[in-house]
Amino acid sequence: MTPVPSRERLLREGIRLMSERGFRETTVGDIEAAAGLTRRAGGFYRHFASKEDLLVRALEGAVAEIIGEISLDQVVSLKAIRAELILIARALIAHATLYRPLRLVFQREAHSLPALRRMAKHANKKLAAFDVIPWLKHALRRSERKAKPEQLGLMIFGPILIHIQAQDRGDAAFGIADIESFLPAWADHWAEWFEPGGKA
pLDDT digit string, tens, across residues 59-68: 888 888 888 7
Tens of pLDDT along 104-126? 898 888 888 888 888 888 887 87
pLDDT: which is higher, 199 or 139: 139
Dihedral, 187, 192, 193, 198 alpha carbons, nearest 10: 180
% of the chain at pLDDT higher than 90: 55
Question: If you write DSSP's letter for every residue of 74-130 in order, what string do you get?
Answer: HHHTT--HHHHHHHHHHHHHHHHHHTHHHHHHHHHHGGG-HHHHHHHHHHHHHHIII
The conformational region for residue 15 under phi > 0 = left, psi -120 to 50 = alpha, else beta, is alpha
Distance between CA atoms of 29 and 66, rounded to whole angstroms?
A: 30
Rg (CA), the chain: 20
Write the DSSP symbol of residue 36.
T
Exposed, middle or buried by CB within 10 Å (0-12, 13-18, 19+), for 29? middle
Tens of pLDDT along 29-84? 999 999 999 998 889 999 999 999 999 999 888 888 888 777 888 999 999 999 99
Phi, psi (5° rounding) for residue 77? -65, -20
